[in-house]
Each structure stands twice: as C-alpha cells, then as structure tokens.
Amino acid sequence: MNIGKSVAFLRNKHAQQAWLALVIVWACFRAFAINKFFGDHNVNPWGYLLVDLASSIPYALYSSRAVISFLDKAWAQLRRYVILSAIFFYMPDVYVFIFARTVPTSLYLGFVVTIIIFSILAIISLKRDAKKD
C-alpha cells in the first residue's frame, strides 16, 4: 500500500524513538500532577510514574502500529493493536482508582472528566493520522 507522506514517518525508527521520548516526558508531567492532586490520598507518585512509564512505552508502540495497520488495511492486526493500545492507555488511571483513598467526589469527577477528554483526544488523533493517507 502507498502510505501517505504525512504518516510515513511512523515507519521511521528515529521518529518512533522521538515519539517514545515525548511519551516519557508526558508521563513525568502526569506523575507530577498526580502527586499534586492525589498525593495526599494514598497515591504514590513514584509508583504511578513507574506504572505510567511501563505502560507508555507499549502504548506508544501499539498506537503507532494501529495507525499503520489501518493504512495497510490489516484489520486483524488493527483490532489487536487498538485493544492493546486501550489497555496500556488506561493502565495508569486504573492505578489511581485502585490506590486512591478518601478522595473528594469533586476530585474523582474531575479525574474522570480528564480521562474522558484525553480518551477523545487520543481517538481523534489516531483517526486524524489514519485519514492523512
């Protein structure tokens, strides 16, 4: 298949490494935010960072592979990569839900709204990248 120039970079190892670096920086930023908002509610920011970093690497790889699978019309691979991307995307949030204690309802609600917003942004981003072909 003739992959569009705008997403051809996904096949480039250097671009994948740059994407991975950005994901890791984002994980560090999120750990800082989690410490600020959930640090007093039994959520260990170092544990969160570890889970986030451990899940960010597979998420970055599987989400880029999902776009490539879509472009290649490899539907079985696409389904597998979308499922794996979702699992690793939500893993850090599940960590917060498991360990957070005595959290005010407004903080939980804000956290859930944030999860929904970032979920929508991730879906839009994947669709946009796939449609650039």
How many CB atoms sit inside 10 A of residue 114's CB? Answer: 13
pLDDT tens per residue across span 96-128: 999 998 899 999 999 999 999 989 998 888 777
pLDDT tens per residue across span 18-58: 877 887 888 899 999 999 999 999 999 999 999 999 998 89
pLDDT of 60 = 81
Q: What angle do CA 8, 24, 7 make, to 5 degrees?
A: 10
pLDDT of 61 = 85
Burial of 29 by CB count in 10 Å (0-12 exposed, 13-18 middle, 19+ buried)? exposed
DSSP reduced 3-state for 95: helix
Q: What is the pTM of this model?
A: 0.74
- Two tokens, residue 70: 């879509």
The residue type found at 97 is F
